[in-house]
Structure 1
Amino acid sequence: MSDIDKSQAVFESLLTIIEKSGKQYDVDSIVHAYETAKEAHMGQRRVSGEPYVMHPVHVAEILVQLGMDTDTIVAALLHDVVEDTTTTLDMVEKQYGKDVALLVDGVTKLGKIPFSSREEQQAENVRKMLLAMAKDVRVIIIKLADRLHNMRTISVMPDQKRRDKSLETMEVYAPLAHRLGIRGVKEELEDLALKYLDPVAYEEIEHTLELKKDERNQLIEHIKARINERIVIEEGKKIHLEGRVKSVYGIYRKVYMNGRSMDEIYDIYAVRVIVDTVIECYNILGIVHDMFRPIPNRFKDYISTPKPNMYQSLHTTVIDKEGIPFEIQIRTWDMHYTAEYGIAAHWKYKAGISGKDKLEERLAWVRQLLEVQQESEDVEDIVRSIKTDLAPEEVFVFTPRGDVICLPAGSTVIDFAYAIHTAVGNRMVGAKVDGRMVSIDYQVKTGNIVEVITSKSPTQGPSRDWLKIIKTSEARNKIRSWFKKERREENIAEGKTELEREFKRNYINLPDAEMKEFISSIAKRQHFPSNEEFLAAIGYGGISLSRIMPRIKDDFQRIYRSSDTEVKPPIKPKKDKKGQSGVIVEGLDSCLVKFARCCNPLPGDDIIGFVTRGFGVSIHKRDCTNVLMSMQDETQRDRWVRTHWADSVKETYKSTIEIFATDRQGMIADISIALANMHIQMHSLNAREAKDKHVVIQITLGASGVDQLSNIIGTFSKIPGVISVERATQ
């Protein structure tokens, strides 16, 4: 089949789906858009080798199934022409109108604009989508359909590309689909991403579900039959019954992330009861609890307290006579349309969401997200906001007046205070949960009644330490904003200290005049009018120094190391202070030091340090395989720092040796006696059988250095039956 025939067949399939949908579409506009896309993408192919135009057609298919309108379908067919072909946005607007042009522009990525990092580009793309989405929510629905088809066909991409795309899908697009309430898209995106992020776990869950497929179907059909007999036949009520199985990722979250077994997950199987009115929902709930035994604390009323994405339903977990737990969901048809299609129900079913006011209410979080992000100079904050604030797991907390505040799981009473009002958070001095005082880092739970205690003092403000505790981006940006306005001099001093510390660690050393000029060039590139504003932004956390440091280091190397300017290396202190570890890290006065278990370095070994994220400096032998591999990675290379042993080290360090010996009686006893005679502390001993009546013995012991370890190895080598003794990894 030729390329033209293949693409035409796919488009014919789209037209068939449109015809079966029963909705009124402007088919002529859709056909014209397809012809435009086909001509624009002529000669272009996807990685799989198929004609490129087939991709926008498949995206349009997904959108028809979601019930979107003609303009959305036309924009989907044209969504890549501006980015990937010579077609301009003006040409699209002239042929198809302003609405279609707005949708195409919103979906178009910013791939042609240079950014300093992939994260920054991703953040800017998301920000642009949200800005366009605030004008027209269809932008993000097209983007979700685009990402869904890309994920369905991602198997042809290289491994690293698959993992990167899957991670971005899990962190950005699945949470957006969740907040928009488009359940089917959200669950498929999560499952497809998980398949490449943790393939072993994905296969295991899928295999388990496949094994129990017949048993599951029988169980669901049996429950549906019992409910139908009682409610329809005996009670004479009109209901619709459906069965559903929890998504692979939904099971993964509970099994692998929450440490449960499959038997402990009560909602793997669920039966959905759909009725006409809200009153009937509660009546059916009473009948269900009469038929089956409800499990305590497993009832959730999302009708009276809807989720932020407007999801409404009654959830109850019950057990039948066979002792098998399952979930029953009870909702009206309106609630069902909203639960399945989310904001797309506005177009698919006019009964689902009616009126502009309701749509505006559902999109209020987009504006809030953008407003919060504008408080920060760090563009990546918006992606962090999506990862945390739009997380699938939420808690519902009450004010003393009974108002419901929805927060991401893991939020603290500080997040709660800032969710009520900025002034409440800024003046907070404590909190009561259910009438009892709690610590400032207390994590709120669903059902808690939280009372914030505030100070009347006008000078009262938040603590910098709160930034390490809080969960939401809203609270983080409000705290930063307070410090930005109220503590300018303190911020400048804090920022200067932090910048000097990073410069010292990266060996950036210049005369005062040149240093001021160098910092000024950095400030201008980060869009700050002066050095003071730049330092203040570092001080209150508005800009992440660790993110821009690689670029600063590159500029320093290019400008000053390549010129005739004499750059004096940092002056070493005349007398090094030995840390408790016995290791001195050059350029850092005091820091947490830990010894890598991959190579267990000892005094006498040539060593090097790796700056970890939050766990101090990890000390390795220079010839450790992990060091050699990491040094080849440009993103990791700058995190290695020079280290050396202190002049006199009195501590002992753990080291592991491996003995290969004849498996004879008394071998372990002879080794233990040798250790005792040398006054060496043994931390652990492990022995396993090898081939041909031999044994491998691993001993972790304490040694003061390489010389003492050599003596120990020499002593063990003399024990009868010992064939070899080597230093090993733990």
Structure 2
Amino acid sequence: MNQLLPKEATELPQEKLIRRLCTVLSGYLEPAQIDEVYRAYLLSAAAHEGQYRLSGEPYICHPLAVALILAEMCMDAKGIMAALLHDVIEDTPVTKEQLRQEFGDEVAELVDGVSKLTQLDCKSRAEAQAQNVRKMVLAMVKDLRVIMVKLADRLHNMRTLGTMSAARRRRIARETLDIYTPIASRLGMNEVRLELEDLGFAALYPMRARVLEQAVKKARGNRKEVVATIELSIQKRLSDAGLPHAEVMGREKHLYSLYQKMRTKRVSFNEVYDVYAFRIITDTVDECYRALGVVHNLYKPVPGRFKDYIAVPKANGYQSLHTVLVGPYGQPLEIQIRTRAMHHLAESGIAAHWLYKSEQGAYSQDRAHEWLQDLLEIQKSAGDSLEFLDNLKIDLFQQEVYVFTPKGKIIKLPRGATLVDFAYAVHTDIGNTCVSARVDRMLAPLQTVLENGWTVEIITAPWARPNPLWLNFVATAKARAAIRSYLRNFKTQEAVALGKRLLEQELNAHGQRIDDIPQERLDALLKRLELPSRDALLEDIGLGNRLPFVVVRQLMQVDADATANPTERSALSPLIIKGTEGMVVSLAKCCRPIPGDPIVGFFNPGKGIVVHLSECKNVEELRKRPRNWLDVQWDKEASGEFPAMIRLELVNQVGTLAKVASTISRLRANIENVQITNQDSQLSVDIITLLVRDRNHLASVVRELRKLSVVLKISRVKSELRKKTETWQSK
């Protein structure tokens, strides 16, 4: 191989790069493996022959630079080969099958995982980006080297962004800051993350980056003496305490980090830059805690600013002790204390597995795999790629809170997470069936935001199901995706069950059962309607997209366009409404029917059956479409709580509303809403929405309210516009 690498001064850029790459690889790979890498280089160079980057250099220089970045992380031979070949499927005629034949399945799959989807039927650039990110994440789940190649690829692209147009630079920088830097952070690759952030910041906000950089250079000279003094005093105190091998070093804050703090905390540059940061590196965990005691004795700690990430590591495996002290000149000192192994892991993350082949690297890989399994679950639940990308961003941008299960297991969740998020973090089935929770043995509402150190117990019920309102307050992508997925699937299941009931009801009127329909006739109808299965037909009926009597006529081989005879349909037994049918049977908000009221049902295409009061003002209009309505009646055992509105004219005096509320509460009815529509010094007109069991329950509430001296008039509101009411005069 060496004969193929000339050393003349006229070497081409790619020849210099391959020489450097082979030199780095020779430090940790076998000669046979380096030969395989060189073979991959030759194929990539041939495939990219004649292609050039915007800078004018041969395109092959880019894959070589990506491979060099990974070689510095001690990536294995297969990963380096994938880096050299990562663009050949996307940009050259070389196929995945050719790579498989030449280099084996492992390299071919890695290259395919990094390649973008080329044949995309997308309506927008955002959708195409989402599709590609989704594909990359799925490949990451199979092999973490996919994301390492992708991050190295993105890092080199960011280093060479200067030749592109301003608009393209901004778009790529925004994508980098939105997706790739958070992924690098989540995988613990701190060095890569910091460089991507600074490069992205410079490309997205070039003026701000230049001004901030100049301010840092100007202020740096004044800080050197202070940093050196503090460093020396900490080092001396550590040596006196028997920790002479502990290293103390000042940390320089990165531009993007400074910029973010200035924005989020709304402070000036001087206020942010006045914070001095130091790192103490020790040999053992025990020495970390001893060093913490030393610095706390040296300078006064700031209360509430100590965090122990050694006992409770971050989700990406990061471990360190963090504390803030008041320095000798009154300025804040940020101190991080960690072991050397923790330091390697903090800087390299999953790359530590290849860099150091240590237990810490393997631990970080395990944490990364746990996260990727969560992403896999999220992507399975996501409706489309854009929804998945939104969920991914939610999952990536998070600060953590730590809570405990009753058995003492630690659950990490993002800041702002609620009890519902905790339930889904324990298990999806727990989340789907949770009804309440105990926090430190006290009952708490499900929307309660979690705080560090709480012990949480979730209470479940077999009949419970996710509430769509949970989507308004859940903070984790896993919970959001699981709720949406359940609601989508549950609506389908409900629609199929309702469709079957409606079809059976219609068939019973003709003296038949659904099981009596010959399969050939059903298959013929499904083919004619272009539906894939019987369940799809039943779902269409349940959602109101197809009317059951029309489907029966088609099944009975009657002309599908024949108009239904209303007298013939009146012979059908009414559909029984239990009140717990869910999303495909809904109660009309215009008239708010409750069990005991005379009702009628209407098919609303796509939504199922909407139940109205027989006397609802909208019924007259709906009856003009006889095909769309059907007879329904309440089940005698209808259960649940149903909203009903009452209008009260009250004496406006102190304690009136309290008397009304007390009476309603005594009768086991719940007040959902109170609206004062009119009020003067003598009279108050209130609209109260109650949750009642049925018409009799409402009547008993009204009866008791009539007895109150402060109630002048009471009536039930049967329309949101309150044009029609049932009125009970007060005594």
Aligned to 2:399: 393
- Which amino acid in the other structure matches residue 377 of structure 2? E
Q: TM-score, normalised by structure 1?
A: 0.63
Mapped partners of 1:131, 1:492: distance in 2:
32
Give the 3 Å change call, closer, same or farther, for CA 192–529 of structure 1 in structure 2. Answer: farther
Does residue 477 of the first structure (1) align with residue 506 of the second (2)? no
Could you tell me how far apart the structure 1 residues matched to 2:444 and 2:270 are?
35
- 1:141 to 1:98, Cα distance in 2 relative to 1, 3 A: same
* Corresponding residue for residue 144 of structure 2: 137
Match of 1:70 in 2: 77
Structure-2 residue corresponding to 1:402: 408
Whether 1:183 aligns to 2:187 is no
Q: Kindly indicate whether the alpha-carbon contact (under 8 Å) linking 1:396 and 1:407 is maintained by their aligned counterparts in 2.
A: yes
**Is residue 351 of structure 2 the alignment partner of residue 351 of structure 1?**
no
Query: Which string of whole-angstrom CA distances, capped at 9 and with x for unpartnered residues, describes residues 178-227 of structure 1?
Result: 11110011122122222233444433433332222223443333332222
Superposed CA deviations along residues 401-427 of structure 1, whole A, max 9, x for unmatched, are 432221223322321222122343234
Instruction: List per-residue Cα deviations over 1:570-604 (Å, max 9, x = no partner).
Output: xxxxxxxxxxxxxxxxxxxxxxxxxxxxxxxxxxx
Shift of 1:9: 2.4
Matched, 1:451 2:474: no
Matches within 5 A, 1:623-642: none
Q: Tell me if the contact between 2:406 and 2:455 (Cα under 8 Å) persists in the aligned partners.
A: yes
Structure 2 letter corresponding to 1:214? G
Q: Is the 8 A contact 1:411 1:443 kept in 2?
A: yes
- Look up the SS of the partner of 1:27 in the other structure: helix
Supply the distance in 1 between the matched residues of 2:50 and 2:77 (Cα, whole angstroms): 27
Q: Which residue among 77, 82, 86 is the counterpart of 2:93?
A: 86
Distance 1:68 1:414, change over 3 A: same
Whether the 8 Å contact between 2:350 and 2:364 is mirrored in structure 1 is no
Tell whether the 8 Å contact from 2:403 to 2:450 is kept in structure 1 after alignment. Answer: yes
The residue aligned with 2:684 is none
Q: CA deviation at 1:339?
A: 0.7
Partner SS for 1:296? coil
Aligned counterpart in structure 1 of residue 199 of structure 2, from 189, 192, 196:
192
Matching residue of 1:696: none
SS state at 1:212 partner: helix
Q: Could you list the runs of 5+ residues in structure 2 that have no partner in the other structure?
A: 1-7, 498-528, 546-581, 584-731
- 1:268-309 per-residue CA deviation (whole Å, 9 max, x = no partner) reads 542222222111111111111111211111111000000010
- Partner deviation per Cα, 1:456-507 (whole Å, 9 max, x = no partner): 4x333332121122222211122123323444477899xxxxxxxxxxxxxx
Q: How far did residue 348 of structure 1 move?
A: 0.6
How many equivalent residue pairs?
A: 507
Three-state SS of the structure 2 residue aligned to 1:297 is coil
Amino acid at match of 1:377: G
1:48 maps to which residue?
55
Q: Are residues 66 and 242 of structure 1, via their aligned partners in 2, closer, same or farther at CA, if it must alter by over 3 Å? A: farther
TM-score norm. by structure 2 comes to 0.63
Provide the residue aligned with 2:302 in structure 1: 295
Q: 1:326 aligns with which of 333, 356, 365?
A: 333
Match of 1:164 in 2: 171
Q: Quick one: percent identity of the two aligned structures?
A: 41
Name the counterpart of 1:462.
Answer: 466
Contact 1:270 1:326 in 2 (8 A): yes
Distance 2:130 2:9 in 1: 40
Summarize the alignment of residues 43-442 of structure 1 with structure 2, pairs less than 5 Å apart.
Answer: 43-232=50-239, 235-262=242-269, 265=272, 269-353=276-360, 359-431=365-437, 433=439, 440-442=446-448
Assess if the C-alpha contact under 8 Å between 2:492 and 2:539 holds in 1: no
CA positional deviation for 1:233: 5.7
Checking the alignment, whether the CA contact within 8 Å between 2:189 and 2:349 is kept in structure 1 is: yes
Partners of 1:324 and 1:298 in 2: how far apart? 15
Q: Cα–Cα, structure 1 residues 23 and 296, in superposed 2: closer, same or farther, change >3 Å?
A: farther
Deviations 1:522-562 (A, max 9, x none): x99xxx967957998x9x99xxxxxxxxxxxxxxxxxxxxx
In 2, Cα distance between equivalents of 1:364 and 1:6: 41
* Deviation, structure 1 residue 387: 0.7
Could you tell me how far apart the structure 1 residues matched to 2:495 and 2:202 are?
A: 45
Deviations 1:425-471 (A, max 9, x none): 234344455666655444334x1415355354x33333212112222
2:306 is paired with a residue whose SS is strand
Match of 1:545 in 2: none
Aligned 8 A contact 1:389 1:407 in 2: no
Letter in 2 for 1:384: D
1:159 offset after TM fit, Å? Answer: 2.4
Alpha-carbon distance change, 332 to 234 in structure 1, aligned in 2, over 3 angstroms:
closer
Letter in 2 for 1:399: T
Q: Secondary structure at the match of 1:383?
A: helix
Distance 1:408 1:400, change over 3 A: same
Q: Is the 8 A contact 1:432 1:438 kept in 2?
A: yes
Indicate the larger mover: 435-444 or 74-83.
435-444
Report the 3-state secondary structure (helix = DSSP H, G, I; strand = E; otherwise coil) of the residue aligned with 2:302: strand
| Distance change (3 Å), C-alpha of 1:44 and 1:437 | same
| RMSD after superposition | 3.4
Give the letter for the 1:373 counterpart: Q
Given the superposition, is the C-alpha separation of residues 97 and 219 from structure 1 closer, same or farther in structure 2, using an over 3 Å criterion? farther
Q: Is the 8 A contact 2:432 2:483 kept in 1?
A: yes
Letter of the 1:311 partner, please give it: Y
Relative distance call for 1:155 and 1:438 in structure 2 (3 A) is farther
- Match of 2:305, SS? strand
Secondary structure of 2:176's counterpart equals helix
Q: Secondary structure at the match of 1:149?
A: helix
Q: Distance in 2 between matches of 1:43 and 1:30?
A: 22
Distance 1:255 1:270, change over 3 A: same
Matches of residues 682-701 of structure 1 in structure 2 within 5 Å?
A: none
For 1:333-363, what per-residue CA distance to the aligned partner results, in whole angstroms no more than 9, with x for missing partners? 22111111101111110225366x8734531
Task: Tell me, in whole angstroms, the C-alpha distance in 2 between the residues paired with 1:398 and 1:102.
Answer: 40
1:112 is displaced (CA, Å) by: 3.1
**Cα distance change of structure 1 residues 176 and 199 upon mapping to structure 2, 3 Å threshold:** same
Which residue identity lines up with residue 195 of structure 2 in the other structure?
Answer: E
Q: C-alpha separation between the residues in 2 aligned to 1:207 and 1:430?
A: 55
* 2:322 and 2:336 in contact (8 A); partners too: yes
Residue number in structure 2 paired with 1:32: 39
Cα distance in 1 between the residues matched to 2:88 and 2:151: 18
Residue 15 in 1 paired to residue 22 in 2? yes
Q: 1:73 to 1:488 in 2, by over 3 A?
A: closer
CA contact (8 A) 1:266 1:317 kept: no
Shift in alpha-carbon separation, 1:67–1:35, aligned structure 2, 3 A: same
Q: Secondary structure at the match of 2:12?
A: helix
Shift of 1:384: 1.6
